[in-house]
Amino acid sequence: MALDFPASPSLNDTYTAGGITWTWNGTSWVGAGSQGTQGIQGLTGTQGTDGTQGTQGVTGAGTQGATGAQGTTGAQGVQGVTGAGTQGATGAQGTTGAQGVQGVTGAGTQGTQGTTGTGTQGTTGTQGTQGTQGILSAVVDDTSPQLGGDLESNGFEIKMADAGNVFFGTDNDMSIMHSGISGLIKNTTGTLVLQGPIVRIQDAGSSQSAISASNGIATLYHLNTAVLNTTAGGIQIEQGVEEKFATLTGSTGVTAMDCDNGHIFYLTGATGDITANFTNLGLTAEYGTNLTVIINQGATPYEVTAVQIGGVAQTINWQGGSAPTGNANGIDSFSFTILNDGGTYVVLGQMVDFT
């Protein structure tokens, strides 16, 4: 069979034909004969004897360097000698002088009492005429002066020193004084009445700062501007009403709400349902008032579920007959109208959602 080798081969290129592989060695193609069948395995020879173990190498014998000697401790200084001065002797106490001799008590006898005279009493002489009264050089000379008529100022003033009182009434029932810091009109009997066609209370700058009354109508002013009037039907408010409120944080359970701090309570960060305990309410019998509890809700809403007045539980009459439910992440306003009915409280409740 003719072989058709590749033209222009490269080193180590191979060509296989008829079961024989030819390799180009750079000069010619060299064929590798096909591998014959494998012969049977020969017998295993005996194991040779073990060789002797080599000796262990010698351990190095270098010596460890010596430790340096410790330096000597310095000697302790000598303690100074304690001073040996002697204490001075105590002087001797002087002798006590001798007591003088007590004088002799006199022993003279008491004389006899003379006899009582028996002459008769002479007759009483007639009373002489009263002399004319002398003229005082100053009022201060009279310790209990009295007026025989009206006292005229004659164009002058009556001046009182600080803390000096002017008294009125037989029993000093009223007095007027000035301490040098503040003035005082004091009435101790009955009612103090300020009466006039128009009564005004003004500040030092003559601004009407309190009350002006005319024909039974009273007006409250602020810097000369009327803010409240009384009428036959009640009051008139000229410029609106502002009411103080109290802020409570993290409330839960029974929560004291002091009405001395206002009638509006703003709760933030509540952690549970609220029992509103209204303290210092001071509501007179047959009068009513309104109290408001505002809860700024979080993800879990809470409600005002009970009301106490001064620690005493009250019954809430809810609008619609059932207790309301709060709203998550909203603002809920719980309003309570409270009536004092002869000492028994009537509580009306409602809630408004401002989510």
Q: Decide: 6 and 15 in contact? Cβ < 8 Å.
A: yes
Provide the number of structural domains found in the chain: 3
- How confident is the model over 8-20, as pLDDT tens digits? 899 999 988 878 8
Task: Work out the percent of the chain whose per-residue pLDDT is above 70.
Answer: 71
Report the pLDDT value the prediction gives residue 82, as an integer from 0 to 100: 46
Residue 216 lies in a domain: yes
Domain C-terminal end among 208, 237, 266: 237
pLDDT at 60 over 80: no
This prediction's pTM: 0.50
pLDDT at 47 over 70: no
Tell the residue number behind the tokens 């005004």, with chain if given: 200
- How confident is the model over 98-144, as pLDDT tens digits? 554 554 454 545 556 656 656 566 677 677 676 666 665 667 778 88
Report the pLDDT value the prediction gives residue 144, as an integer from 0 to 100: 83
- How confident is the model over 209-245, as pLDDT tens digits? 777 777 778 888 888 888 888 888 888 998 888 999 9
Tell the residue number behind the tokens 């009459």, with chain if given: 317
Report the pLDDT value the prediction gives residue 85, as an integer from 0 to 100: 44
User: 298: which residues sit within 8 A by CB, 6+ positions away?
Assistant: 269, 270, 328, 329
State how far the alpha carbon of 144 is from the alpha carbons of 80, 138, 139, 141, in Å: 90, 13, 10, 9
What's the mean per-residue pLDDT of the chain? 80
Answer yes or no: do 255 and 223 share one domain.
no
User: 219: which residues sit within 8 A by CB, 6+ positions away?
Assistant: 211, 212, 213, 226, 228, 229, 230
Answer yes or no: do 344 and 305 share one domain.
yes
Answer yes or no: do 263 and 327 share one domain.
yes
Answer yes or no: do 185 and 204 share one domain.
no
Which of 60-69, 115-124, 151-160, 317-326 has the least mean pLDDT? 60-69
Report the pLDDT value the prediction gives residue 22, as an integer from 0 to 100: 85
- How confident is the model over 153-171, as pLDDT tens digits? 899 999 999 999 999 999 9
- Write phi, then psi, for 284 (nearest 5 degrees): -70, 150
Residue 139 lies in a domain: no
Burial class (CB in 10 A: 0-12, 13-18, 19+), 200: middle
Answer yes or no: do 265 and 345 share one domain.
yes
* Segment 53-80 mean pLDDT: 49
Residue 267 lies in a domain: yes
Range of 224's domain? 198-237
Which is nearest to 29 in space by CA: 51, 49, 8, 56?
8
Answer yes or no: do 211 and 277 share one domain.
no
Answer yes or no: do 304 and 336 share one domain.
yes
Residue 66 lies in a domain: no
